[in-house]
């Protein structure tokens, strides 16, 4: 009896020890699990913080793109003041007669002037369609959960970016376009800017490819020094070589990435995806780009017809107008003053003088430049200011509510 009682007590003691050890092991496992979860949570928080910081540093703020501050900046005002002073001096030296300019404009064919205005504004629709293609090429599609703005909204963004380019130099409007898209659908500003940069590269290639043949077809090359003609041909060859280089950069993405230092590799991929990744569906992009620059050239062609600015047969008038219109577009690419003020007017006067040899060429050229800049500069400045004020005024009222 006593022996049985001792065995029972011993068994209960062993059970108690086993339960205690099991509880201690469970507590240790629980502590280990909690610690692991805490570490994981901490690491996750650190990663999220790092990602958020990276996003914040990679995105562009509204303060960085404040047009008012950029417009009043001395870097904007000083070059503009110098250019305006140079223009006034040149006008005074050239003995330009404002009354003759006004008479020339009054006798212009109104039908061709309206055609010049309409064809120029048609280019904004083509630019909008082209930008949609570029955005879709980098993955901004419904399949990826991104709903791009409709045609009119994209056109408005493109137009506001052109307004920004007329207000401030250095093509700030191109970056502003990417920022406006980010504000509307909350996509990456840097990748969107990559599509704008791709658009500018495409513009440059097509513009040069159209400009140089227009120069060679016109009678201008017959009276120009052989060095200039050779330079134009070499420039055309350089454009083709750059196109091939971009194609290789796109096709050999990973091979080139291995040559880039690791700390810059992520930036390379963003650049590649946003810029070179845009060049899919290339035939459509090229067709729209040719359409854009055809509109630019036809704008001046109709102005030349309205003023009877250039003599000769139709082919000569057309090729000369192409040369002047596309040459003007090339001048606006140079990031000097807002809208290329000063540089564009001086360049156009020089190009018109190459084709117009009349006694009153100065006043005729001035009339053509005034009409052209009213359409391509002042109309954007006025209409763009209204659209800009309505757009941001509406957003401001929505935030206030």
Do 171 and 204 form a contact (C-beta atoms < 8 A)?
Answer: no
3-state secondary structure the chain: CHHHHHHHHHHHHHHHHHHHHHHHHHHHHHHHHHHHHHHHHHHHHHHHHHHHHHHHHHCCCCHHHCHHHHHCCHHHHHHHHHHHHHHHHHHHHHCCCHHHHHHHHHCCCHHHHHHHHHHHHHHHHHHHHHHHHHHHHCCCCHHHCCCCCCHHHHHHHHHHHHHHHHHCCCCHHHHHHHHHHHHHHCCCHHHHHHHHHHHHHHHHHHHHHHHHHHHHHCCHHHHCCHHHHHHHHHHHHHHHHHHHHHHHHHHCHHHHHCCCCHHHHHHHHHHHHHCHHHCCCHHHHHHHHHHHHHHHHHHHHHHHHHHCCCCCCHHHHHHHHHHHHHHHHHHHHCCCCHHHCCHHHHHHHHHHHHHCCCCCHHHHHHHHHHHHHHHHHHHHHHHHHHHHHHHHHHHHHHHHC
Note the Cα 14 to chain centre separation in Å.
80
d(CA 28, CA 30): 5
Q: Which two tokens stand for residue 115?
A: 């055609």
Higher pLDDT, 229 or 376: 376
Q: Residues near 184 by Cβ (< 8 Å), separated by ≥ 6?
A: 149, 153, 157
Least confident of 241-255, 287-301, 302-316: 241-255
Write out pLDDT tens, residues 281-303.
888 999 999 999 999 999 999 99
pLDDT at 397 (0 to 100): 53
pLDDT at 393 (0 to 100): 66
How many angstroms separate the Cα of 212 from the Cα of each of 98, 234, 260, 330, 356?
A: 34, 10, 36, 11, 20
Q: Which two tokens stand for residue 110?
A: 């109104």
d(CA 312, CA 301): 14
Do 361 and 133 form a contact (C-beta atoms < 8 A)?
Answer: no
First CA to last CA across the chain, in angstroms?
89
Percent of the chain with pLDDT over 70: 65
Mean pLDDT of the chain: 74
Query: Rounded to the nearest 5°, which phi and psi values hold at 260?
Result: -85, 135
Write out pLDDT tens, residues 338-377.
677 777 888 888 888 888 888 888 889 999 999 999 999 9
Do 123 and 296 form a contact (C-beta atoms < 8 A)?
Answer: yes
- Answer whether 0.85 is exceeded by the pTM: no
d(CA 89, CA 93): 6
For 133, counting Cβ atoms within 10 Å of its Cβ (0-12 exposed, 13-18 middle, 19+ buried), the class is middle
Write out pLDDT tens, residues 211-227.
777 766 665 555 555 65
Confidence band of 107 (pLDDT split at 50, 70, 90): very high
Confidence band of 90 (pLDDT split at 50, 70, 90): low
pLDDT at 29 (0 to 100): 47
For 323, counting Cβ atoms within 10 Å of its Cβ (0-12 exposed, 13-18 middle, 19+ buried), the class is buried
Looking at residues 98-111, what average pLDDT do you find? 92
pLDDT at 227 (0 to 100): 53
Percent of the chain with pLDDT over 90: 22
């Amino acid at each position: 009896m006593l022996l049985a009682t001792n065995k029972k007590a011993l068994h209960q003691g062993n059970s108690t020890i086993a339960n205690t050890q099991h509880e201690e092991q469970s507590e240790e496992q629980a502590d280990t699990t909690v610690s692991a979860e805490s570490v994981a949570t901490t690491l996750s928080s650190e990663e999220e913080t790092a990602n958020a910081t990276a996003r914040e540093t990679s995105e562009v703020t509204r303060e960085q793109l404040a047009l008012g501050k950029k417009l009043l900046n001395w870097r904007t005002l000083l070059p503009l003041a110098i250019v305006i002073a140079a223009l006034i001096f040149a006008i005074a030296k050239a003995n330009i007669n404002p009354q003759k300019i006004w008479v020339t404009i009054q006798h212009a064919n109104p039908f061709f002037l309206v055609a010049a205005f309409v064809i120029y504004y048609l280019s904004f629709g083509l630019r909008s369609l082209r930008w949609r293609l570029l955005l879709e090429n980098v993955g901004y599609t419904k399949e990826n959960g991104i709903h791009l703005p409709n045609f009119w909204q994209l056109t408005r963004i493109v137009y506001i970016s052109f307004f920004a380019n007329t207000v401030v130099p250095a093509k700030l409007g191109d970056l502003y376009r990417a920022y406006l898209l980010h504000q509307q659908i909350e996509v990456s500003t840097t990748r969107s800017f990559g599509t704008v940069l791709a658009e500018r590269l495409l513009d440059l290639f097509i513009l040069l490819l159209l400009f140089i043949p227009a120069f060679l077809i016109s009678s201008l090359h017959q009276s120009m020094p052989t060095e200039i003609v050779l330079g134009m041909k070499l420039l055309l060859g350089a454009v083709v070589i750059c196109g091939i280089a971009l194609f290789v950069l796109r096709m050999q993405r990973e091979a080139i990435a291995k040559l880039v230092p690791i700390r810059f590799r992520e930036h390379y991929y963003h650049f590649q995806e946003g810029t070179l990744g845009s060049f899919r569906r290339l035939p459509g992009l090229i067709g729209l780009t040719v359409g854009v620059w055809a509109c630019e050239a036809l704008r001046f062609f109709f102005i030349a017809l309205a003023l009877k600015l250039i003599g000769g047969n139709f082919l000569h008038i057309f090729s000369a107008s192409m040369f002047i219109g596309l040459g003007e577009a090339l001048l606006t690419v140079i990031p000097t003053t807002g809208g290329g003020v000063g540089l564009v007017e001086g360049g156009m006067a020089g190009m018109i003088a190459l084709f117009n040899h009349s006694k009153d060429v100065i006043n005729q050229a001035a009339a053509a430049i005034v009409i052209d800049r009213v359409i391509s500069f002042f109309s954007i400045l006025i209409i763009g200011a209204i659209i800009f004020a309505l757009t941001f005024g509406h957003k401001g009222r929505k935030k206030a509510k």
